[in-house]
Structures are given as C-alpha cells and as structure tokens.
Amino acid sequence: MRKYISPITATLTPDNWEEKINLKDMSLDEMSELLWDLKKMESLGKKLGGYMKEACTARIPEGMMEHVGPRVGFVLNDRERAGSLDREKCIEEMGIVWVTGHSKPATEYVELRISLVKPE
C-alpha cells in the first residue's frame, strides 16, 4: 500500500518544494492528489505536534520554565483565558449580574513556545 497518493509528495522538503511543484505542468488530478496528501500531512502534524508539546511539558523538571537545546529551545508561560473577549463592554451592555451569571470561570493553562536557537 502506498503512503501517499501523489508521487511528488514523498520527495517534497521545506527546501525544495518550489522546484518540485510546477503548477503550470500539473493536471487538475495531480493537483488534487497532492492537495489530499498535504491535507493528511497537516492533520498528522497538528496531532503529533500537540502530542509532542504535552510530552515536552511533562518532561520538564518541576519549577523549570525553559529549555535550550543545541538547535531548538522552548519556554513555558503560565496563561489564563477568561470567558469574554471584551468583559468591560459586556458589563456595560448587559450588566454585571448577567455577565457574572453567564461567564465561564477563567481557565489556567501552560503555553509552550518553541523557537530555533540562533547560532553564535
């Protein structure tokens, strides 16, 4: 069983995709096959990326908020998400009683920000 529908997909890299994909020479069938493969890869990337972020966050020792590796580093940030985009405007329009009764409690979470380490 083939991994990808389009034969081009297996040869694509972040550095060569512009050379490999020549839209003028591709048929509509070839474009749709490549698009299907890219959609599947995107789905896998989101799923695997979330899994890896959770794993990295869990592996960091207690109290440590950053890690800098040889090529990639990341920082953990404590965040809080409130239930309303503009709480003040909601209070002004609907009143504090309504907003308090309809608002979800704030959610606290840890955000992992990842970046490439710049060579010195």
In a domain, 4, yes or no: no
Number of domains in the chain: 2
Residues β-bridged to residue 80 = 108
Per-residue pLDDT at 28:
94
Per-residue pLDDT at 37:
92
State whether 37 and 76 are in the same domain: no
Domain of residue 28 covers 9-59
State whether 84 and 117 are in the same domain: yes
Per-residue pLDDT of 94-112, as tens digits, reads: 888 988 888 888 888 888 8
Residues β-bridged to residue 115 = 73
- Model confidence at 83, in pLDDT bands (50, 70, 90)? low
Per-residue pLDDT at 120:
65
Which of 59, 74, 91 delimits the end of a domain?
A: 59
Rounded to whole angstroms, the Cα distance separating 104 from 85 reads 12
Rounded to whole angstroms, the Cα distance separating 46 from 51 reads 9
Per-residue pLDDT at 48:
94
Per-residue pLDDT at 43:
93
State whether 53 and 84 are in the same domain: no
Quote the tokens at residue 33: 């096959």
Cβ 29 vs Cβ 5: under 8 Å:
no
Quote the tokens at residue 65: 């908020």
% pLDDT > 90, the chain: 24
Query: Which amino acid would we find at residue 37?
Result: D
State whether 66 and 40 are in the same domain: no
Element (H, E) at 54: helix 28-59
* Mean local confidence (pLDDT), 36-59: 91
In a domain, 100, yes or no: yes
Residue 1 has pLDDT above 50, yes or no: no
